[in-house]
Amino acid sequence: MLKNVYRKIMYFHFQTIILSKYVILFLKNLGVKIVAHPPKDYFK
């Protein structure tokens, strides 16, 4: 019983780490795009 819960927690934790890595990469790409091509409203 406890082993099963532990396995679920580890699986969820692992997925969260992978997801956060993708989110960080996405935000970095977005930041680079904004810096490279700033929208007009960005500087108002």
pLDDT of residue 40: 67
Per-residue pLDDT of the chain (44 residues; tens, 9 = 90+): 788 999 999 999 999 999 999 999 998 988 887 777 666 665 55
DSSP H or E run through 31: helix 2-36
Across 28-44, b (16+ Cβ under 10 Å) vs e yields eeeeeeeeeeeeeeeee
pLDDT of residue 16: 92
pLDDT of residue 39: 64
- Is residue 37 helix, strand or coil? coil
Q: How far is CA 43 from CA 8, 36, 38, in A?
A: 47, 13, 8
pLDDT of residue 21: 93
pTM > 0.75: yes or no: no
d(CA 11, CA 35): 36
